[in-house]
Structure 1
Amino acid sequence: MAATQIEIPEDVLDSARLTPAEAKRELALALYSQQRLSAGKARAFAGLSLWEFRQLSASRGVPVHFDESELAEDLKAIDCWERLHS
């Protein structure tokens, strides 16, 4: 997968009191809340599991956006969980 890099000046991160990982999470959450990224893409970009991303979204009051691909991803996660816990 190709990647593009952006530069964030250290003083911006310092002023915002964010680490680079936290900045990625904030950007992922902002793009998700604007419905520019699906939960799956946003959580992957943020480096979080779907569960962690959903918890972060809920803690910030970001409503869940749900489409067919996200339903399929959730159903796969449920199936995996059931296989692990049966």
Structure 2
Amino acid sequence: MNTTIASACYAALRHGGAPPVDARAQLGLGRRVAFELELFFHGRFGGPMRPRFARHHRHVTAVLAEGGFPVMPERRP
């Protein structure tokens, strides 16, 4: 995979809430490449623009403990 494409895909997955291990697996990256992309991700986006769901699994567990997610009614035209 092209380095530029891998970097963009990795950043997109991480911003979407994927943990580093999942992003690596989905893109089929080696450990070294994934490690370098993670460093780049934190260096470039590590300030106020952290992944929105950095603790996604912990968040879901907490929400489920409080009764789960609200269900939105399906609207059909």
Give the alignment's TM-score, normalised by structure 2.
Answer: 0.42
- Bigger relative CO (Cα 8 Å, ≥ 6 apart): 2
User: 1 or 2, which has the higher helix percentage?
Assistant: 1
